[in-house]
Structure 1
């Protein structure tokens, strides 16, 4: 893992860690998800085009999520499409069926102007922790511990969520 730290000047934002390489990016994502659960984050916000490269079927993560579930807890998912996720992460789909009451899954519409603030992928856990994918092809992400950056990312996430539709139902009812 090639991680470099930017050292801040006194009075500036907290340091960020640049992660390079797919293995480092995925390991950090899993660790941040686990940490959000351990911290008892009231909400965990996750954004990706389809979540297929996230470690959602990892048994350790599913157990951490099971223990994290509680009153006033929300796992907020925002994606363009959930089909690849459903195929790649059957264990998570099964977990979602049991704990659907804490999951809010929304789907982005293709309508509207291009949002240049949109990250490639994003995980917001307990303030100020944030994981942000910069480049999926090159395997580059940033871990940030900056409350103002977390707040801005959460504001973006909330705004986009309001313009999205409910999706990825916990169960499908057939006739």
Structure 2
């Protein structure tokens, strides 16, 4: 369940989390840890962010306190409609702090990427939360610089092939 190795520079942890409730709690914990740890960027990937705790009052307050000029919340999804319906409080937060949020949408075009996780949160280095199986409720939380570096490289590469989406406000003419 918990593999730990001791390195002279840092300790590496890997925790397998099973069950929907445990997976969602681990995600909540990692979101809060990233904000409270002062991560320069928080990278989040999901199909639609529907199951993420984005309207949780503790998350919204942590995000509010986390926002600073050099910090970015980077969202990457296939669709933001479910997020907008499920998380109205986060949508309101997004309107206030849109300058700190980069939201991009993936297209379904292109080759199948077998490295793509079901969900991903990259927070304070070297931490990462990776959803392995959404239906079965399995995720892994790691504290490994190599794993986080590989996940960030994947996130950046996929972001480059995406387009801006989920505007902080809509302008009507």
Task: Report the TM range for the smaller structure's normalisation.
Answer: over 0.9
Q: 2:25 aligns with which of 19, 22, 27?
A: 27
Q: 1:123 aligns with which of 121, 124, 133?
A: 121
- SS of structure 1 residue aligned to 2:4: coil
Q: 1:42 aligns with which of 26, 40, 43?
A: 40
**CA drift at 1:7:** 3.4
User: In the alignment, does 2:134 pair up with 1:136?
Assistant: yes
User: In the alignment, does 2:66 pair up with 1:68?
Assistant: yes
Match of 1:89 in 2: 87
**CA drift at 1:169:** 0.2
TM-score (norm 1): 0.95
Distance between the aligned counterparts of 2:35 and 2:130, measured in 1?
A: 18
Distance between the aligned counterparts of 1:105 and 1:88, measured in 2?
A: 17
**CA drift at 1:9:** 7.0
**8 Å contact from structure 2 (residues 4, 11) kept in 1:** no
- SS of structure 2 residue aligned to 1:15: strand
Match of 1:17 in 2: 15
CA RMSD of aligned residues (A): 1.4
User: In the alignment, does 2:110 pair up with 1:112?
Assistant: yes
Distance between the aligned counterparts of 1:141 and 1:168, measured in 2?
A: 26
**CA drift at 1:111:** 1.1
From the superposition, tell whether residues 103 and 170 of structure 1 become closer, same or farther in structure 2 (CA, over 3 Å).
Answer: same
Q: Which runs of 5+ in 1 are unaligned?
A: none
Distance between the aligned counterparts of 1:8 and 1:59, measured in 2?
A: 35
**Aligned residue pairs: how many?**
172
